[in-house]
Structure 1
């Protein structure tokens, strides 16, 4: 099995949920403190897009004890993620200067999450909880001050809320909806590439949902803006949490009603129609020109795979 096959069709990264979020415990400070102090408490330590992990003889371990996390220099404030088999899991942040000191150690690894997940270095079953930790740590780092009055806010509700002691405003984490869509026209599909993509990679078009906009309208608008293609019917497939920093990818299929592409080069480097046969070669990384689709880590891979492996009339 290749690393691109590590996420079976319909199961991209971050969707396998193994936690009981136990939201009823978030308001019980005494209970959370007791859980955090227990021997079975564990934490994921997040630095930007990376994880701080313990090195072991057989690889790396992302799930740290609270003492390990604090010894490595993690911030003392914890975010309660939930319970896994009854054991409490927390998310913790860490300052850049603490990370710098870790980089010279032989018993610690600080590695970018996306690359590790693609390589299978972190078990797929842990990725949902890690995504939660990453999104929440990022939210706290970006929302330390009240948007209403500018005063410093404080963490509450096990990390799922920030309160302003000055104006009493309450602040909650948000998730940004993003549509990602496979557009088809007969027996071909529309794929695009951005400049930062790996060489030869094409993927589904995507974009943020705007205020007071339906998912269906967002699909039609984004496809037209980026490629000049008009779409009719739009169908929902599945969602994927995407912790960069905190989005929800809404996977859709869309039927094109026009065929002529006009690329918006501020958004895309290129966009092309691909036949089913050529897309199949890209999907399985066998294209003679080295073209590829998205990695199975991402929902785009699963949108394309669903179309390719369905009946020829699938959209």
Structure 2
């Protein structure tokens, strides 16, 4: 029996200390705290120490004039991340995936928050109201326009990710850029004026031509590439007849419980390669298998 994991990038154990973010004097004092730590990054990827945990530096490693983001408190220790200035990264940064296979769940969640926040700052240096430059505000959890004083907060983009279910089988699809053998749950962004259930039904019909009869929520996870919230659902469908959108999917197939179990355990006879454990599609498949 496969025991479903908690969704990846969840389980952070720090106190985000939102009440301190507007207190500039307190944040300045935390920057100088003897136990203050600065997250060590390679570009935006985590750096792991010999113990396999996130590596941290003293705040002296920040450098003169460099900006930092307040992540929260680990007990009495203030945690910060450097605001690395760079062009926005496109794609899923698959180079980090091998590290995520080895990371502690709480560390992965903390790094994911830092990565998404850094990416957001690098994509939002100008006010969306008047176009003027903006500056860091609320200890890194907002930006404020230097001209019109409009305040901007980090965006999280909702994405539905779902298994269509029919007659004891679920639908998995293969995206155009997936690694060889990889199949996963179907997914798509929630559009304005749309509920989660409506987004699930629309995406299933658009990508695979199947109509949902009912939708049930399963779990969610942050996805820091660059800043999505994955909302996992299961949708019972009217039939199993497929009409694929070939601009979105290379292939799709219905898989029974034995096939899902084989994929999740990495069996040689598995009909497809399962998503990595830190992707909520893996959690979704395992929870469906467990009933």
Taking a change above 3 Å as real, the CA distance of residues 196 and 70 of structure 1, as seen in their structure-2 partners, is: farther
**Mapped pair 1:18 → 2:13:** yes
**Residues in 1 aligned to 2:104 and 2:155: alpha-carbon distance in whole angstroms:** 26
The alpha carbon displacement at 1:69 in A equals: 4.5
Are the aligned partners of 1:194 and 1:267 in contact in 2 as well (CA < 8 Å)? Answer: yes
**Mapped pair 1:194 → 2:184:** no
In structure 2, stretches of 5+ residues that fail to align are 88-93
Structure 2 equivalent of residue 64 of structure 1: 57
Of 98, 117, 123, which aligns to 2:100?
117
The alignment partner of 1:137 has SS state of helix
Structure 1 equivalent of residue 45 of structure 2: 50
**Residues in 2 aligned to 1:277 and 1:250: alpha-carbon distance in whole angstroms:** 25
**Residues in 2 aligned to 1:45 and 1:263: alpha-carbon distance in whole angstroms:** 44
Q: Deviations over 1:47-101 (max 9, x none)?
A: 66523x37x5556743332223449xxx71111111112211112132469xxxx
TM-score normalised per structure 1? 0.84
TM-score normalised per structure 2? 0.90
Are the aligned partners of 1:45 and 1:94 in contact in 2 as well (CA < 8 Å)? Answer: no
Taking a change above 3 Å as real, the CA distance of residues 123 and 60 of structure 1, as seen in their structure-2 partners, is: closer
In structure 1, stretches of 5+ residues that fail to align are 98-110, 311-315
**Mapped pair 1:300 → 2:281:** yes
Aligned-residue CA RMSD in angstroms?
2.2
The alpha carbon displacement at 1:290 in A equals: 6.4
**Mapped pair 1:33 → 2:28:** yes
Structure 2 equivalent of residue 284 of structure 1: 265
Are the aligned partners of 1:48 and 1:138 in contact in 2 as well (CA < 8 Å)? Answer: no
**Residues in 1 aligned to 2:63 and 2:40: alpha-carbon distance in whole angstroms:** 10
**Residues in 2 aligned to 1:11 and 1:17: alpha-carbon distance in whole angstroms:** 12
Structure 2 equivalent of residue 84 of structure 1: 74
Equivalent residue pairs, number: 284
Structure 2 equivalent of residue 100 of structure 1: none
**Residues in 2 aligned to 1:208 and 1:47: alpha-carbon distance in whole angstroms:** 29
Structure 2 equivalent of residue 103 of structure 1: none
